[in-house]
Amino acid sequence: MRLLESNLLLCGLLMMSVSATAAGEAPVKTPGRYLFPSDYMADPSAHVFDGKIYIYPSHDWDSPVNDADGNHFDMKDYHVFSIDGDFLTGNVVDHGVIFSVDDVPWASRQLWAADAACKDGKYYHYFTARDKEGVFRIGVAVADSPVGPFKVHPLPIAGTYSIDPAVYEENGEYFIYFGGLGGGQLQKYRDNVYDADADLPAKNEPSLPPRVARLADDMVTLAEDPKPVMILDAAGNPLAEGDKHRFYEASWLHKYNGKYYFSYSTGNSHTLSYAIGDSPYGPFTYSGEILTPVVGWTTHHSVLEHDGKWWLVCHDSQPSGGLSRLRSMKVFPLSYRADGTIVTIDGGK
Protein backbone atom coordinates (compact mmCIF):
# COMPACT_ATOMS: atom_id res chain seq x y z
CA MET A 1 0.00 0.00 0.00
CA ARG A 2 1.36 3.42 -0.92
CA LEU A 3 2.06 5.91 1.88
CA LEU A 4 -0.77 8.30 0.79
CA GLU A 5 -3.32 5.44 0.72
CA SER A 6 -2.26 4.11 4.12
CA ASN A 7 -2.47 7.64 5.60
CA LEU A 8 -5.95 8.09 4.15
CA LEU A 9 -7.03 4.73 5.58
CA LEU A 10 -5.62 5.62 9.00
CA CYS A 11 -7.37 9.01 8.87
CA GLY A 12 -10.65 7.32 7.93
CA LEU A 13 -10.37 4.80 10.76
CA LEU A 14 -9.60 7.57 13.25
CA MET A 15 -12.58 9.62 12.06
CA MET A 16 -14.84 6.56 12.21
CA SER A 17 -13.75 5.78 15.75
CA VAL A 18 -14.19 9.40 16.92
CA SER A 19 -17.64 9.79 15.37
CA ALA A 20 -18.69 6.30 16.44
CA THR A 21 -17.74 7.11 20.02
CA ALA A 22 -19.50 10.48 19.84
CA ALA A 23 -22.64 9.00 18.30
CA GLY A 24 -22.87 6.23 20.89
CA GLU A 25 -22.11 8.38 23.92
CA ALA A 26 -24.83 9.26 26.37
CA PRO A 27 -25.08 13.00 27.10
CA VAL A 28 -22.92 13.80 30.09
CA LYS A 29 -24.72 14.55 33.35
CA THR A 30 -22.68 17.36 34.80
CA PRO A 31 -23.47 19.46 37.84
CA GLY A 32 -24.45 22.93 36.77
CA ARG A 33 -24.93 25.98 38.94
CA TYR A 34 -28.04 28.15 39.08
CA LEU A 35 -26.48 31.59 39.03
CA PHE A 36 -29.20 33.75 40.61
CA PRO A 37 -31.78 31.77 42.56
CA SER A 38 -33.54 34.84 43.99
CA ASP A 39 -35.11 36.01 40.70
CA TYR A 40 -36.02 34.71 37.24
CA MET A 41 -33.55 35.67 34.52
CA ALA A 42 -33.37 34.09 31.05
CA ASP A 43 -31.40 34.20 27.77
CA PRO A 44 -28.03 34.81 29.50
CA SER A 45 -25.39 36.34 27.21
CA ALA A 46 -22.08 36.18 29.06
CA HIS A 47 -18.84 37.95 28.20
CA VAL A 48 -15.45 38.54 29.75
CA PHE A 49 -14.60 42.23 29.84
CA ASP A 50 -11.22 43.17 31.40
CA GLY A 51 -10.90 39.66 32.84
CA LYS A 52 -14.26 39.71 34.63
CA ILE A 53 -17.46 37.83 33.75
CA TYR A 54 -20.55 39.92 32.93
CA ILE A 55 -23.99 38.51 32.10
CA TYR A 56 -26.72 40.29 30.12
CA PRO A 57 -29.97 38.32 30.55
CA SER A 58 -33.62 39.11 30.01
CA HIS A 59 -35.79 39.43 33.12
CA ASP A 60 -38.79 37.11 33.44
CA TRP A 61 -41.71 37.86 35.75
CA ASP A 62 -45.01 36.19 36.53
CA SER A 63 -47.04 38.01 33.90
CA PRO A 64 -50.76 37.14 33.64
CA VAL A 65 -50.45 37.24 29.82
CA ASN A 66 -50.65 33.69 28.48
CA ASP A 67 -50.93 32.61 24.87
CA ALA A 68 -49.17 30.51 22.31
CA ASP A 69 -47.41 33.32 20.47
CA GLY A 70 -44.66 34.03 23.01
CA ASN A 71 -46.62 36.87 24.61
CA HIS A 72 -46.21 35.25 28.02
CA PHE A 73 -42.55 36.35 27.77
CA ASP A 74 -43.63 39.82 28.84
CA MET A 75 -40.38 41.28 30.16
CA LYS A 76 -40.24 44.92 31.18
CA ASP A 77 -36.60 45.67 32.10
CA TYR A 78 -33.01 44.47 31.89
CA HIS A 79 -30.44 43.82 34.64
CA VAL A 80 -26.67 43.26 34.37
CA PHE A 81 -24.77 40.76 36.52
CA SER A 82 -21.07 40.32 37.20
CA ILE A 83 -19.23 37.49 38.90
CA ASP A 84 -16.42 38.00 41.42
CA GLY A 85 -14.29 35.01 40.48
CA ASP A 86 -15.22 32.00 38.40
CA PHE A 87 -18.52 30.64 37.20
CA LEU A 88 -18.90 27.81 39.70
CA THR A 89 -17.82 29.48 42.93
CA GLY A 90 -17.76 33.26 42.36
CA ASN A 91 -20.15 35.66 44.04
CA VAL A 92 -22.85 36.73 41.54
CA VAL A 93 -23.59 40.46 41.79
CA ASP A 94 -26.86 41.97 40.50
CA HIS A 95 -26.17 45.54 39.33
CA GLY A 96 -29.89 46.25 39.13
CA VAL A 97 -32.09 47.62 36.36
CA ILE A 98 -30.12 49.18 33.49
CA PHE A 99 -33.20 50.35 31.58
CA SER A 100 -36.85 49.48 31.18
CA VAL A 101 -39.36 49.45 28.34
CA ASP A 102 -40.45 53.00 29.29
CA ASP A 103 -36.92 54.20 28.46
CA VAL A 104 -37.16 52.91 24.86
CA PRO A 105 -39.01 55.55 22.79
CA TRP A 106 -39.89 53.17 19.94
CA ALA A 107 -40.86 50.09 22.00
CA SER A 108 -44.21 48.92 23.32
CA ARG A 109 -43.48 45.66 25.20
CA GLN A 110 -41.52 42.43 25.55
CA LEU A 111 -37.84 43.10 26.18
CA TRP A 112 -36.56 39.75 24.91
CA ALA A 113 -33.02 38.38 24.61
CA ALA A 114 -30.05 40.76 24.57
CA ASP A 115 -26.28 40.76 24.11
CA ALA A 116 -23.42 43.17 24.74
CA ALA A 117 -20.14 44.18 23.11
CA CYS A 118 -17.23 46.45 24.05
CA LYS A 119 -15.41 48.75 21.64
CA ASP A 120 -12.93 51.51 22.49
CA GLY A 121 -14.06 51.73 26.12
CA LYS A 122 -17.78 51.94 25.28
CA TYR A 123 -20.27 49.16 26.03
CA TYR A 124 -23.13 48.42 23.66
CA HIS A 125 -26.24 46.56 24.83
CA TYR A 126 -28.19 45.08 21.89
CA PHE A 127 -31.75 44.10 22.73
CA THR A 128 -35.09 43.00 21.31
CA ALA A 129 -38.54 44.59 21.77
CA ARG A 130 -41.82 44.97 19.94
CA ASP A 131 -42.35 48.39 18.38
CA LYS A 132 -45.62 50.30 18.69
CA GLU A 133 -47.09 48.25 15.80
CA GLY A 134 -46.19 44.96 17.49
CA VAL A 135 -43.26 44.18 15.15
CA PHE A 136 -40.08 42.90 16.81
CA ARG A 137 -37.02 45.11 16.27
CA ILE A 138 -33.48 45.27 17.59
CA GLY A 139 -32.30 48.28 19.55
CA VAL A 140 -29.08 49.40 21.19
CA ALA A 141 -28.09 51.23 24.36
CA VAL A 142 -24.63 52.65 25.09
CA ALA A 143 -22.62 53.04 28.32
CA ASP A 144 -19.13 53.91 29.54
CA SER A 145 -19.04 50.90 31.86
CA PRO A 146 -20.18 47.27 31.46
CA VAL A 147 -22.85 47.82 34.13
CA GLY A 148 -24.16 51.14 32.84
CA PRO A 149 -25.73 53.61 33.11
CA PHE A 150 -26.96 52.82 29.57
CA LYS A 151 -28.41 55.46 27.27
CA VAL A 152 -30.93 54.00 24.84
CA HIS A 153 -30.59 54.94 21.17
CA PRO A 154 -33.83 56.63 20.06
CA LEU A 155 -34.47 54.31 17.07
CA PRO A 156 -34.11 50.59 16.36
CA ILE A 157 -31.07 49.57 14.28
CA ALA A 158 -32.08 50.13 10.66
CA GLY A 159 -31.98 46.95 8.59
CA THR A 160 -32.36 44.54 11.53
CA TYR A 161 -35.55 42.68 12.35
CA SER A 162 -36.95 39.79 14.39
CA ILE A 163 -35.24 38.88 17.71
CA ASP A 164 -32.23 37.57 19.61
CA PRO A 165 -29.20 39.72 18.71
CA ALA A 166 -25.77 38.20 19.40
CA VAL A 167 -22.54 40.04 18.64
CA TYR A 168 -19.19 38.41 17.81
CA GLU A 169 -15.96 40.40 17.59
CA GLU A 170 -12.80 39.52 15.74
CA ASN A 171 -9.84 41.78 14.89
CA GLY A 172 -11.91 44.90 15.53
CA GLU A 173 -14.80 43.76 13.30
CA TYR A 174 -18.18 43.17 14.94
CA PHE A 175 -20.81 40.83 13.50
CA ILE A 176 -24.43 40.88 14.68
CA TYR A 177 -26.49 37.68 14.34
CA PHE A 178 -30.25 37.69 14.79
CA GLY A 179 -33.58 36.02 14.04
CA GLY A 180 -36.09 33.72 15.65
CA LEU A 181 -39.10 31.78 14.35
CA GLY A 182 -42.66 31.60 15.71
CA GLY A 183 -43.34 34.50 18.09
CA GLY A 184 -39.97 35.93 16.96
CA GLN A 185 -41.45 36.63 13.48
CA LEU A 186 -38.47 35.57 11.32
CA GLN A 187 -40.83 33.56 9.09
CA LYS A 188 -42.38 36.87 8.01
CA TYR A 189 -39.21 38.03 6.19
CA ARG A 190 -37.89 37.20 2.73
CA ASP A 191 -34.75 38.94 1.36
CA ASN A 192 -34.75 41.27 4.39
CA VAL A 193 -38.26 42.56 3.61
CA TYR A 194 -41.34 42.08 5.83
CA ASP A 195 -44.07 40.10 4.06
CA ALA A 196 -47.26 39.68 6.06
CA ASP A 197 -48.21 36.69 3.86
CA ALA A 198 -44.90 34.84 4.29
CA ASP A 199 -44.77 31.83 6.63
CA LEU A 200 -42.73 28.77 7.52
CA PRO A 201 -41.59 26.54 4.63
CA ALA A 202 -43.01 23.03 4.21
CA LYS A 203 -41.25 20.31 6.24
CA ASN A 204 -39.27 19.06 3.23
CA GLU A 205 -38.14 22.54 2.14
CA PRO A 206 -34.96 24.32 3.34
CA SER A 207 -35.39 25.82 6.80
CA LEU A 208 -35.23 29.58 7.28
CA PRO A 209 -31.73 30.78 8.16
CA PRO A 210 -30.76 33.27 10.87
CA ARG A 211 -29.08 36.45 9.62
CA VAL A 212 -25.69 38.10 10.07
CA ALA A 213 -24.38 41.57 9.24
CA ARG A 214 -21.19 43.46 10.06
CA LEU A 215 -21.75 46.43 12.35
CA ALA A 216 -20.49 49.82 11.16
CA ASP A 217 -17.70 51.58 13.08
CA ASP A 218 -20.29 53.53 15.09
CA MET A 219 -21.69 50.18 16.43
CA VAL A 220 -25.26 51.47 16.14
CA THR A 221 -25.79 50.96 12.39
CA LEU A 222 -25.16 48.09 9.97
CA ALA A 223 -22.25 48.25 7.52
CA GLU A 224 -24.03 45.92 5.07
CA ASP A 225 -27.34 44.23 4.34
CA PRO A 226 -28.02 41.16 6.51
CA LYS A 227 -27.04 37.85 4.91
CA PRO A 228 -28.45 34.36 5.56
CA VAL A 229 -26.40 32.13 7.88
CA MET A 230 -26.51 28.77 6.10
CA ILE A 231 -26.60 25.62 8.26
CA LEU A 232 -25.88 22.59 6.09
CA ASP A 233 -25.97 18.84 6.52
CA ALA A 234 -22.94 16.63 5.82
CA ALA A 235 -23.89 16.50 2.12
CA GLY A 236 -23.89 20.30 1.87
CA ASN A 237 -27.68 20.78 1.75
CA PRO A 238 -29.49 23.26 4.02
CA LEU A 239 -31.20 21.53 6.94
CA ALA A 240 -34.87 21.07 6.07
CA GLU A 241 -37.69 22.69 8.06
CA GLY A 242 -38.67 19.19 9.24
CA ASP A 243 -35.17 18.43 10.59
CA LYS A 244 -35.19 18.42 14.39
CA HIS A 245 -31.85 20.23 14.36
CA ARG A 246 -32.84 23.16 12.17
CA PHE A 247 -32.37 26.72 13.49
CA TYR A 248 -35.21 28.21 15.52
CA GLU A 249 -33.74 31.09 17.62
CA ALA A 250 -30.91 32.11 20.01
CA SER A 251 -27.88 32.59 17.71
CA TRP A 252 -24.40 32.56 19.23
CA LEU A 253 -20.94 32.47 17.61
CA HIS A 254 -17.65 31.48 19.23
CA LYS A 255 -14.27 30.37 17.94
CA TYR A 256 -12.35 27.29 19.05
CA ASN A 257 -9.07 26.03 17.59
CA GLY A 258 -9.39 28.22 14.50
CA LYS A 259 -12.96 27.10 13.66
CA TYR A 260 -16.19 29.08 14.03
CA TYR A 261 -19.00 27.47 16.02
CA PHE A 262 -22.50 28.76 15.33
CA SER A 263 -24.86 27.53 18.05
CA TYR A 264 -28.60 27.97 18.38
CA SER A 265 -31.83 26.71 19.87
CA THR A 266 -33.92 24.26 17.85
CA GLY A 267 -37.10 25.61 19.50
CA ASN A 268 -39.86 23.02 19.28
CA SER A 269 -37.38 20.12 19.51
CA HIS A 270 -35.82 21.85 22.55
CA THR A 271 -32.07 21.30 22.03
CA LEU A 272 -29.12 23.63 21.82
CA SER A 273 -27.27 22.53 18.69
CA TYR A 274 -24.20 23.72 16.81
CA ALA A 275 -22.63 23.84 13.38
CA ILE A 276 -18.98 24.44 12.46
CA GLY A 277 -17.57 26.67 9.71
CA ASP A 278 -14.51 28.52 8.45
CA SER A 279 -15.83 32.09 8.49
CA PRO A 280 -18.11 34.19 10.75
CA TYR A 281 -20.49 34.32 7.76
CA GLY A 282 -20.61 30.54 7.40
CA PRO A 283 -21.65 28.30 5.81
CA PHE A 284 -21.74 26.05 8.88
CA THR A 285 -22.04 22.28 8.90
CA TYR A 286 -24.35 20.77 11.51
CA SER A 287 -22.13 19.00 14.07
CA GLY A 288 -24.23 17.95 17.06
CA GLU A 289 -26.17 18.88 20.16
CA ILE A 290 -24.64 20.91 22.98
CA LEU A 291 -27.56 20.44 25.36
CA THR A 292 -30.44 17.97 25.33
CA PRO A 293 -33.93 19.25 26.31
CA VAL A 294 -34.32 21.09 29.59
CA VAL A 295 -37.34 21.53 31.86
CA GLY A 296 -39.41 24.29 30.18
CA TRP A 297 -40.11 25.06 26.50
CA THR A 298 -37.14 27.31 25.75
CA THR A 299 -33.49 27.42 26.43
CA HIS A 300 -31.07 30.07 25.17
CA HIS A 301 -27.37 30.32 25.78
CA SER A 302 -23.90 31.72 25.38
CA VAL A 303 -20.59 29.86 25.07
CA LEU A 304 -17.37 31.42 26.32
CA GLU A 305 -13.89 30.82 27.67
CA HIS A 306 -12.81 32.18 31.04
CA ASP A 307 -9.45 31.48 32.68
CA GLY A 308 -8.71 28.70 30.18
CA LYS A 309 -11.99 26.83 30.80
CA TRP A 310 -15.05 26.67 28.54
CA TRP A 311 -18.61 27.28 29.75
CA LEU A 312 -22.20 26.94 28.56
CA VAL A 313 -24.45 29.55 30.16
CA CYS A 314 -28.17 28.88 29.56
CA HIS A 315 -31.54 28.76 31.28
CA ASP A 316 -34.19 26.26 32.28
CA SER A 317 -37.50 26.29 34.17
CA GLN A 318 -36.70 23.69 36.80
CA PRO A 319 -36.67 26.12 39.77
CA SER A 320 -40.14 27.44 38.83
CA GLY A 321 -41.52 23.91 38.66
CA GLY A 322 -41.59 23.89 34.86
CA LEU A 323 -43.28 27.25 34.15
CA SER A 324 -41.91 28.26 30.74
CA ARG A 325 -42.35 31.97 31.44
CA LEU A 326 -40.21 31.78 34.62
CA ARG A 327 -36.68 30.73 33.74
CA SER A 328 -33.43 30.63 35.70
CA MET A 329 -29.85 31.22 34.58
CA LYS A 330 -27.56 28.23 34.81
CA VAL A 331 -23.93 27.44 33.92
CA PHE A 332 -22.29 24.15 32.92
CA PRO A 333 -18.64 23.34 32.23
CA LEU A 334 -18.24 22.58 28.51
CA SER A 335 -15.71 20.26 26.91
CA TYR A 336 -14.52 19.33 23.44
CA ARG A 337 -13.32 16.06 22.00
CA ALA A 338 -9.97 15.82 20.21
CA ASP A 339 -11.74 16.25 16.85
CA GLY A 340 -13.30 19.57 17.96
CA THR A 341 -16.82 18.26 18.50
CA ILE A 342 -18.56 19.29 21.71
CA VAL A 343 -19.44 16.76 24.42
CA THR A 344 -23.24 16.89 24.72
CA ILE A 345 -24.60 17.91 28.12
CA ASP A 346 -27.74 16.35 29.58
CA GLY A 347 -30.29 19.17 29.97
CA GLY A 348 -32.15 17.27 32.70
CA LYS A 349 -35.61 16.82 31.19
249 is catalytic: yes
- Let me know: does 167 contact 160? Beta carbons within 8 Å: no
Residues 25, 12: Cα–Cα separation, whole Å: 20
Cβ 234 to ligand FUB, closest distance in Å? 27
Q: Residue 85 Cβ, how far from ligand FUB at the closest point, in Å?
A: 27
How do beta strands 309-316 and 302-306 pair?
antiparallel
Active-site position among 60, 164, 243, 249 = 249
Round to whole Å and give the CA distance between 189 and 198. Answer: 7
Q: Which is nearer to ligand FUB, 47 or 300 (CB)?
A: 300
Chain residues in the site for ligand FUB (CB under 6 A): 42-43, 58, 73, 112-113, 128, 163-164, 180, 249-250, 298, 300
Q: How far is the CB of 266 from ligand FUB (least distance, A)?
A: 12
Cα separation, 54 vs 35, in Å, equals: 12
Strand residues in 179-307 grouped as ranges (E) = 189-190, 193-194, 211-214, 227-228, 231-232, 249-256, 259-265, 272-277, 284-291, 302-306
The nearer residue to ligand FUB, 216 or 320, going by C-beta atoms, is 320
Q: How far is CA 178 from CA 43, 166, 181, 191, 323, in A?
A: 13, 6, 11, 14, 26
User: Could you give the CA distance from residue 291 to residue 28 in angstroms, rounded to a whole number?
Assistant: 9
SS3 of residue 201 by DSSP: coil
Catalytic status, residue 289: no
Minimum gap (Å) between residue 165 Cβ and ligand FUB = 10
DSSP code of residue 267: G
- Rounded to a whole number of angstroms, the minimum distance from the CB of residue 324 to ligand FUB is 9
Residue 292, classified by CB atoms within 10 Å of its CB into exposed (0-12), middle (13-18) or buried (19+), is: middle
Cα separation of 52 and 50, whole Å? Answer: 6
List active site positions. Answer: 43, 249
